[in-house]
């Protein structure tokens, strides 16, 4: 069972498309050559919004919709953890 105490934040290494405006700070948005926006990922592949000390989202209240819909312990979560 996945809980906050054993979460490995595997979802924070996935590409996150920004399809709605939730207030993500501009400095955490990457724009591709076609104008599509995603969460900025750092050189190591982690989302720029992840605090590396706590492994928590620094913009939780303004996180993208896809992050809001990603259910901890759900099918997508378990698949992301298995792929790491």
Under the banding of pLDDT at 50, 70 and 90, the label for residue 81 is confident
- Contact in structure between 3 and 68 (CB atoms under 8 Å): no
Beta strand ranges found along the chain (DSSP E): 29-31, 37-39, 50-51, 56-57
52-79 pLDDT tens trace: 888 889 999 999 999 988 888 888 888 8
Q: What does DSSP assign to residue 70?
A: -
Residues with Cβ < 8 Å from 67, sequence gap 6 or more? 11, 16, 57
pTM of the model: 0.82
Residue 27's pLDDT is what?
94
């Amino acid at each position: 069972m996945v809980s906050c105490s054993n979460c490995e934040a595997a979802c924070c290494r996935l590409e996150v498309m920004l399809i709605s405006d939730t207030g993500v700070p501009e400095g955490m948005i990457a724009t591709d050559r076609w104008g599509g926006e995603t969460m900025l990922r750092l050189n190591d592949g982690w989302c720029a919004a992840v605090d590396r000390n706590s492994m928590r989202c620094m913009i939780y209240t303004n996180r993208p919709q896809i992050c809001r819909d990603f259910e901890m312990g759900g099918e997508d979560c378990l698949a992301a953890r298995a792929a790491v």
